[in-house]
């Protein structure tokens, strides 16, 4: 626990120093963009180190989790409960974003100031159709899926592999023990990588502010304040629902999620916090076979913060162009986002890709994406942290349902 507290403190220090350094770099350096590019190298290095861990960690922990559950009935039961929770959380997140953007109407402030140009936002949008999503579910090669860190494909392969290992029985014990060893080694590697986290946080924040300045925050201050209010409300709802199942222990869970959520917030990447989230859940008392099963699936199907942002941002852009969407159109859009957001990687800009694809389907100018690009890093920080909180609560609740919760582990 002391190590966790120290990491959190160092990340906060890195965050504060990054803001100060970025501010001075923007105002005093001849080429703040060059400084930002240098800082981006540090952030990129850290995120690549994290991505190096993800594939072997997800595969080994998920296969072991399924194999330890035993029969396919247990896997199916837990899977149904998990997906049921994710569906309800998705509807809640998407609906909350839709309700708030219609109440606040942040896009009205830009009405009349937008040129209906065909400018491109430099985002790949053509690959987000339902057909491509379905074909993307199953990897043509697991090696290719792991090489590209496609979490959803790794999850699908691991489900089959783990179920087959459980069905084989004792003959697979040696393999399962080996994968269990791989999981523990990767968690140790995670510990080494996390020592660089404060430096990555410093570089990410310093580079962003050096390039855009603090003015970018004030320019869109109202929009950001309203979105952050929505995020706070979503946190409140998630914690309240968690309280209904976990009672007072939900606050201990939030304490365990503090460090991974802060890491996700600072780096604007849910993926960066995956290993620490898994560790925190196991310290909280969630047994490994549940945590290693539910959490990877959550990273593909339960990105609560990103889903709320999708509805909020899409309608905001429509409002900025004076495009009024009927209730039916907004419900249709929510259904589309429910599908296209699944499998969305927990990495920066993934939400923008989904939003850009949705804009095209509803004849909203894609140029509206340019409204968000300048501040997206700061918005991504909030939604990434929310994704961590949502998946942490979901995993703990499923463990409670299954009677797979132990007393908290002491460090």
In angstroms, rounded to a whole number, what is the distance separating the alpha carbons of residues 223 and 219?
Answer: 9
- Give the CA diameter of the chain: 69
pLDDT at residue 268 tops 50: yes
Task: Read off the pLDDT band of 79 (50, 70, 90).
Answer: confident
Residue 103 C-alpha from the chain's centroid: 26
Task: Read off the pLDDT band of 153 (50, 70, 90).
Answer: confident
In angstroms, rounded to a whole number, what is the distance separating the alpha carbons of residues 358 and 335?
Answer: 11
Cβ-in-10-Å burial (0-12, 13-18, 19+) of 117 comes to exposed
Mean pLDDT value of segment 374-402: 90
Run of H or E including 208 = helix 197-212
Q: Please indicate whether residue 400 or residue 355 has the higher confidence score (pLDDT).
A: 400
Angle (CA) 271 201 390, round 5°: 35
209: Cβ–Cβ under 8 A, 6 or more apart, which residues?
Answer: 18, 19, 22, 23, 25, 26
Residue 143 Cα distances to 148, 154, 303, angstroms: 9, 9, 25
Task: Give bridge partners of residue 286 from the DSSP assignment.
Answer: 405
In angstroms, rounded to a whole number, what is the distance separating the alpha carbons of residues 398 and 351?
Answer: 26
Is the CB of residue 257 less than 8 Å from the CB of residue 392?
A: yes
Q: What is the pLDDT of residues 197-250, one digit of tens each?
A: 889 888 888 887 888 777 666 657 788 899 999 999 999 999 999 999 999 999
3 state DSSP class of 346: coil
212: Cβ–Cβ under 8 A, 6 or more apart, which residues?
Answer: 26, 374
Mean pLDDT value of segment 174-197: 87
Q: For the chain, which residues make up each domain, given as ranges? A: 3-402
pLDDT at residue 285 tops 60: yes
Cβ-in-10-Å burial (0-12, 13-18, 19+) of 309 comes to buried
In angstroms, rounded to a whole number, what is the distance separating the alpha carbons of residues 98 and 107?
Answer: 13
Task: Read off the pLDDT band of 300 (50, 70, 90).
Answer: confident
Cβ-in-10-Å burial (0-12, 13-18, 19+) of 71 comes to exposed
pLDDT at residue 76 tops 50: yes
Q: What is the pLDDT of residues 338-363, one digit of tens each?
A: 866 665 544 445 677 678 767 877 88
In angstroms, rounded to a whole number, what is the distance separating the alpha carbons of residues 381 and 176?
Answer: 36
Q: Which fold has domain 3-402?
A: 1.10.3860
> H helices of 268-322, where?
274-284, 288-301, 304-320
Q: What is the pLDDT of residues 112-122, one digit of tens each?
A: 555 444 334 44
Most confident of 187-196, 237-246, 265-274: 237-246
User: Computed from CA positions of residues 141, 143, 145, 151, in that sequence, does the dihedral angle turn out positive or negative?
Assistant: positive
DSSP string, 64-132: HHHHHH-SHHHHHHHHHHHHHHHHHHHHHHHHHHHHHHHHH-GGGGGTT---------S---TT-SHHH
- pTM (2 d.p.): 0.76
């Amino acid at each position: 626990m002391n190590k966790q507290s120290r990491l959190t403190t160092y990340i906060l220090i890195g965050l504060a120093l990054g803001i100060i350094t970025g501010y001075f770099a923007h105002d005093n350096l001849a080429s703040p963009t060059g400084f930002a590019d240098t800082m981006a190298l540090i952030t990129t290095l850290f995120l690549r180190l994290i991505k190096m861990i993800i594939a072997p960690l997800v595969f080994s922990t998920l296969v072991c989790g399924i194999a330890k559950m035993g029969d396919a009935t247990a896997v199916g039961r837990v899977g149904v409960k998990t997906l049921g929770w994710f569906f309800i959380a998705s509807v809640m997140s998407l609906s909350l974003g839709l309700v708030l953007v219609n109440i606040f109407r942040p896009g009205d402030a830009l009405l009349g100031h937008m040129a209906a140009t065909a400018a491109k936002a430099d985002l790949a949008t053509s690959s987000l159709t339902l057909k491509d999503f379905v074909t993307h579910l199953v990897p043509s090669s697991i090696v290719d899926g792991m090489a590209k860190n496609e979490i959803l494909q790794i999850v699908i392969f691991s489900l089959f592999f783990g179920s087959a290992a459980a069905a084989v029985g004792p003959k697979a014990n040696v393999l399962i023990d080996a994968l269990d060893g791989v999981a523990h080694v990767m968690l140790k590697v995670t510990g080494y990588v996390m020592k660089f986290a404060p430096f990555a946080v410093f570089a990410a924040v310093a580079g962003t502010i050096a390039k855009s300045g603090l003015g970018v925050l004030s320019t869109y201050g109202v929009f950001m304040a309203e979105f952050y209010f929505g995020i706070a409300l979503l946190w409140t709802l998630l914690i309240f629902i968690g309280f209904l199942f976990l009672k007072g222990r939900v606050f201990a869970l939030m304490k365990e999620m503090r460090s991974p959520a802060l890491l996700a917030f600072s780096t604007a990447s849910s993926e960066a916090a995956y290993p620490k989230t898994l560790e925190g859940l196991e310290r909280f008392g969630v047994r490994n076979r549940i945590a290693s099963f539910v959490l990877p699936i959550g990273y593909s199907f339960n990105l609560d913060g990103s889903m709320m942002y999708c509805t909020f941002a899409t309608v905001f852009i429509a409002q900025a162009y004076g495009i009024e969407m009927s209730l039916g159109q907004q419900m249709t859009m929510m259904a589309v986002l429910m599908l296209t957001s699944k499998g969305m990687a927990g990495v920066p800009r993934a939400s923008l890709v989904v939003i850009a694809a949705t804009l095209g389907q509803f004849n909203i100018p894609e140029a509206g994406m340019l409204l968000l690009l300048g501040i997206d890093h700061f918005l991504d920080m909030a939604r990434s942290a929310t994704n961590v909180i949502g998946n942490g609560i979901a995993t703990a609740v499923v463990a409670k349902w299954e009677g797979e919760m132990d007393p908290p582990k002491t460090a």
